[in-house]
Amino acid sequence: MLDAAVRIFGQRGYMAASMDEIAELAGVSKPLVYLYLNSKEDLFTACIRREAGALTEAVRAGVRAGLPADRQLWDGLQAFFAHTAEHPDGWSVLHLQARTHGENFAAEVTAMREEIVAFVTQLIAVAAREAHRDPDLPEREVAGLAEALVGAAESLAAWANATPGVTARQAAATLMNFAWAGLGNLMKGSPWTPPAGEV
């Protein structure tokens, strides 16, 4: 039922989606949908929570402790872009639909985003300090870098999903060049390159 709802909400939008369509796609009766989830709002909230949890888990699972900071960032970005590419309807629910159809829905996405930003803040703290060659780089600055990185990742995922031929690896490399190597190095022709031997 949630698979069907995510597909309909993601492709048609919250307002245009109907419980009849969702029930039909799920192969259940409309009363059964209402039995499990009292309203369209409850169903949409359940979809947001499921998709948010799956995205957060995918990013966390993609990062392996003990690797160099740039590799952890790379792995996290690849996991993020791979997940959003593999689940475009779920990404649409989170990135487009939930943010624009009411405070309660937006609050669910905000909670997920805060969790990801906190994770990324921890993830890039070492990387940011190394990049700045400043062991005392303030936590506030690291948090700002994390906010910027997450915001850029969200926008780039929307663009990558709408642009034929852009792979998760390409999207991750684009953002890695921007975030890790910096625009200065990129303009000088010294972009950050993915680890050798990966597909």
Instruction: Using the predicted structure, report yes or no on whether residue 193 has a pLDDT greater than 60.
Output: yes
Q: What is the mean pLDDT of the chain?
A: 85
From the list 48, 153, 151, the residue with the least C-alpha distance to 101 is 48
Instruction: Using the predicted structure, report yes or no on whether residue 185 has a pLDDT greater than 60.
Output: no
With cut-offs at 50, 70 and 90, classify the pLDDT of residue 187: very low
Q: Which of 16-30, 43-57, 97-111, 175-189 has the lowest mean pLDDT?
A: 175-189
Higher-scoring residue by pLDDT: 191, 35: 35
Given this model, what pLDDT does residue 186 score? 43
Given this model, what pLDDT does residue 183 score? 44
From the list 79, 91, 65, the residue with the least C-alpha distance to 157 is 91
Q: Please answer whether residues 107 and 98 qualify as being in contact, where contact means their C-beta atoms are separated by less than 8 angstroms.
A: no
Which tens digit of pLDDT belongs to each residue from 124-182?
A: 776 656 655 666 666 777 788 889 889 999 999 999 999 999 999 999 999 988 877 66
Produce one character per residue of 132-148: b if its CB has 16 or more CB atoms within 10 Å, e if not. Answer: eeeeebeeeebbebbee
Domains of the chain, first to last: 48-187 (1.10.357.10)
With cut-offs at 50, 70 and 90, classify the pLDDT of residue 33: confident
From the list 51, 53, 73, the residue with the least C-alpha distance to 63 is 73
